[in-house]
Structure 1
Amino acid sequence: MQTFNLTATGHNLNYLPQYIARRHGFFQEQGLELVTKIPTPWDGVLDALAAGEADMALGGIWVPSMYRERVENYTVFAQIANRCPLALLKHGSADEFKLTDVAGKTVLMKSGGGASVGLFFKMLLRENNIDARAVDYIQDLDGVMLGNLFQGGMGDFFVTDNLSARAMVEQNPNISVAMEMVTQGDVPWSVYYRETATTTPEVMDKQRRFCLALAKGIDFVNNTDPTTYQDELAELFPNVPVEACVAVTNQFRNNGMWISPVIPVEGYNRWQLGLRDARLVSEPIPYKTLVNSEPALESQAPQPVSSSGAPAMNGSTRIAVAEAKTISSVA
């Protein structure tokens, strides 16, 4: 059994297939013992990589994007979350809410785990022809602090993770969910990466086996009613009502949060445009420059077959794999 050390930026429901894969022995089936550490503050993941204490980091792709050719080159080899796991809360009823309603208002956004919250929300505004500068933001505070302040009356809207949003709404009838951003299209939200210079064939073999186990975890979550393993959800997220965990898991399952370890090209390109417009990169980074999809692609072949004899791969996964194979085949 080989130890595979992971340093992660947090403990989140959008990482659920990885947790399931570990709890159900899928990594052990691949000869890997997954050991996870979550540093505080979150950017300690980069220190862990640099010190050789971790084989890979899990977090936002915006970090290896903005670091490239400036500080350190990282190679991204897989994803776990294919969509944004945030929600937009508002005071009062969310009936007839439109995204344009945020213009001229104050939006609270947690930032303790990095820049992703603000990056995605402002990109979403731009994509909907809403001037992001027409909104006032309070985003330099801890998420729990902002949540308490929002419930106390600060601001008009609050962007936080979907699970916390559901839990807050269940406890406070004066707040409602205006938008669950998992419905707002593909982006490689959470990815695995390490330094390009230290990625050897031996490392890639571990990555391939990791992706095989992760793909099995994704398949389990997508095809299993979460009420049948709600005890595990309660153990993983003890501070949130299990009903909220089940509801958010189903919301994620139904909206393409988890499709494959393979990063879809279209979602990648969309996020790169968002990072460019946020000035984190000067120009979008080509897919193949930042992503080596070989370990993730190998995890998709051969595919298990369904009862009809067809490959057990949904449409989104087929598209993601086909796109990534096309990019990988280009010299």
Structure 2
Amino acid sequence: MKRLLSLGLAASLALTAIISGCSGGTEKIRIGEVTRSLFYAPQYVALEKGFFKEEGLEVELSTTWGGDKTMTALLSDGIDVALVGSETSIYVAQQGAQDPVINFAQLTQTDGTFLVSRKKIDNFSFDQLKGSVFLGQRKGGMPQMVGEYVLKKNKIDPHADLELIQNIEFKNVASAFASGTGEFVQLFEPEASQFELNGIGHVVASFGKESGTVPYTVFMTKQSYLDKHQTAIQKFTNAIYKGQQWVASHSPKEIAEVIAPYFQDIKPEILESSIKRYLEQGSFATDPILDETEWNQLQDIMDSAGELKQRMDYAKLVNTTFAKTAKEGK
């Protein structure tokens, strides 16, 4: 009996060792995404295709609904990694944070919003916005800052040449327009395509195309977390890169099918057409490297919006080590 117990124990220990060896010591990382958006398709692909698991990571994803709430969750250790606009890391630094928030993996590289008109316009030009009621986004957020940047680029003063509404919560902007507020609105997909399908509005311009390449949505974490979990952050970045490469090499239909579980209330054809629109304008970054040119463009946009107290050093708030290693496949 003792011999059988000993053999059983030995077998159990051996099996445990094998399982542990296969998992490589699974580590959990909690992500807080600023909103649920198909704009983040590579992240959902990485989750659904098992790329995080391949790297030995257990990922818990939660939606934190808004830049302020996302950053509060990160700073208070409610999450480990935030997926949010790079401008939030600059805001934290401007407040004199002792534990800065570091951008380590870029997910999207253009603005993701579109200008939607209530009326169909065949030959749109930005000067048609003058004198109109424009339903914008939250002051200080990337959508609003990019929107203002594009309007100024087209010689329109957003605070003088039109009636700018920006006191409506991000999650309620689309429904406010659908209810009759505004003649123009700034919307992400799939709302833009959904409004076209339902005859509520018509896409007349892309803010992503107009504003150029920027580090629009980035994975970031506190310097203290980065210092203590470098191996996990590398594995995390590797998984994101796999997701980016998968998206870059597959059709809108294939991508839509993979990420559909995250958007169960969106029709497959709308999901597919929205992804196609983002692919065509290069919104999804094909690697996680946030370069200095993009960082400077971001600060130009913030400066134009009056939200930049001082320019922040790229080297202090951006760490490309993990992204470069992931891309090199080391």
TM-score if structure 1 supplies the norm length?
0.84
- Larger mean CA deviation between 237-246 and 46-55 belongs to 46-55
Residues 94-243 of structure 1: matches in 2 within 5 Å? Answer: 94-111=121-138, 115-133=141-159, 134-143=161-170, 145-172=172-199, 175-184=201-210, 185-200=212-227, 202-243=228-269
Question: For residues 31 and 70 of structure 1, do their structure 2 counterparts lie closer, same or farther at Cα, with a shift above 3 Å needed?
Answer: same
Partner residue, 1:13: 38
Partner residue, 2:72: 47
Quick one: distance in 1 between partners of 2:59 and 2:27? 9
Question: For residues 229 and 150 of structure 1, do their structure 2 counterparts lie closer, same or farther at Cα, with a shift above 3 Å needed?
Answer: closer
Partner residue, 2:95: 70
Q: Secondary structure at the match of 1:284?
A: coil
Quick one: distance in 1 between partners of 2:257 and 2:94? 45
Name structure 1 gaps, 5 residues minimum.
304-331
Contact 2:39 2:189 in 1 (8 A): no
Identity of aligned residues (%): 21
- Aligned partner of 1:253: which letter? L
Q: Secondary structure at the match of 2:109?
A: strand
Partner residue, 2:57: 32
Contact 2:208 2:281 in 1 (8 A): yes
- Aligned partner of 1:4: which letter? I
Q: What is the aligned counterpart of 1:79 among 106, 109, 113? A: 106
Q: CA deviation at 1:189?
A: 0.7
Q: CA deviation at 1:292?
A: 1.0
TM-score if structure 2 supplies the norm length?
0.84
Q: Secondary structure at the match of 1:33?
A: strand
Contact 1:5 1:54 in 2 (8 A): yes
Q: CA deviation at 1:152?
A: 4.2
Question: For residues 266 and 129 of structure 1, do their structure 2 counterparts lie closer, same or farther at Cα, with a shift above 3 Å needed?
Answer: farther
Q: Secondary structure at the match of 2:215?
A: strand
- Larger mean CA deviation between 13-22 and 266-275 belongs to 266-275
Quick one: distance in 1 between partners of 2:142 and 2:255? 30
Quick one: distance in 1 between partners of 2:208 and 2:163? 23
Q: Select the structure of larger CA radius of gyration.
A: 2
1:195-238: CA deviation from partner (whole Å, max 9, x where unpaired):
224431x4222222111111110111111113235433432212
Question: For residues 42 and 291 of structure 1, do their structure 2 counterparts lie closer, same or farther at Cα, with a shift above 3 Å needed?
Answer: closer
- Aligned partner of 2:236: which letter? F
Quick one: distance in 2 between partners of 1:272 and 1:42? 17
Quick one: distance in 2 between partners of 1:60 and 1:77? 12
Q: CA deviation at 1:144?
A: 5.8
Contact 1:143 1:160 in 2 (8 A): no
1:257 aligns with 2:287: no
Contact 2:35 2:65 in 1 (8 A): no
Question: For residues 100 and 34 of structure 1, do their structure 2 counterparts lie closer, same or farther at Cα, with a shift above 3 Å needed?
Answer: same
Contact 2:45 2:259 in 1 (8 A): no
Contact 1:226 1:250 in 2 (8 A): yes
Quick one: distance in 2 between partners of 1:282 and 1:132? 21
Q: Secondary structure at the match of 1:188?
A: coil
Contact 1:275 1:284 in 2 (8 A): no
- Aligned partner of 1:103: which letter? K
- Aligned partner of 1:223: which letter? S
Q: CA deviation at 1:41?
A: 5.7
Quick one: distance in 2 between partners of 1:140 and 1:247? 30
- Aligned partner of 1:18: which letter? Q
Quick one: distance in 2 between partners of 1:171 and 1:144? 19
Contact 2:135 2:177 in 1 (8 A): yes
1:283-317: CA deviation from partner (whole Å, max 9, x where unpaired):
332321221111111111049xxxxxxxxxxxxxx
Quick one: distance in 1 between partners of 2:243 and 2:148? 32
Partner residue, 1:271: 298
Q: Secondary structure at the match of 2:324?
A: helix
Q: Secondary structure at the match of 1:88?
A: strand
Quick one: distance in 2 between partners of 1:46 and 1:39? 9
Q: CA deviation at 1:241?
A: 2.0
1:45-100: CA deviation from partner (whole Å, max 9, x where unpaired):
23332333322111011111122141422111111011111111102223110122
1:2 aligns with 2:27: yes
